[in-house]
Amino acid sequence: MTAAADAPLFHRLASRAGPLVSFTIDGAPATAQAGDLLMTAILLNRPALRRFEFGEAHRAGFCFMAACQDCWVTLADGGRVRACTTLVRNGMAVLIDGDARV
């Protein structure tokens, strides 16, 4: 069984109570939970974090411990953050393939 091309990558095993966080990916609304790192928040909604800037590919992070630097993502305000060490916040606007609203 192969996962659909746009199916999320991560799968939440330990459910927990707590507030939801609303953010956007390429302009589309997405939901995460307080305490989710941005890497978790994105990959619970999407199969990848960013486009690879040196070729036709996407990347989804690799080491999850702030060493490989594979998970730097772009925000709509022009900022760049390392997704494995940044908590998702309400109103964050992540760009992967560009903003659908533009």
Spell out where 26-71 has E strands.
28-33, 50-51, 58-59
| Smallest separation, CB 62 to another protein (Å) | 6
Distance CA 31, CA 100 (A): 17
* Choice between 43 and 94, CB closer to another protein: 43
Whose structure tokens read 């490989």? 68
Contact 61, 38 (CB under 8 A): no
* Choice between 22 and 69, CB closer to another protein: 69
Distance CA 59, CA 4 (A): 17
* Choice between 28 and 66, CB closer to another protein: 66
* Choice between 16 and 29, CB closer to another protein: 16
| Smallest separation, CB 96 to another protein (Å) | 11
Residues that bind another protein in the complex, under the rule CB under 8 A: 1-3, 5, 7, 9-16, 18-19, 33-37, 40, 43-44, 47-49, 52, 54-55, 57-70, 72, 82, 85, 87
Q: What is the token pair recorded at 85?
A: 């060490």
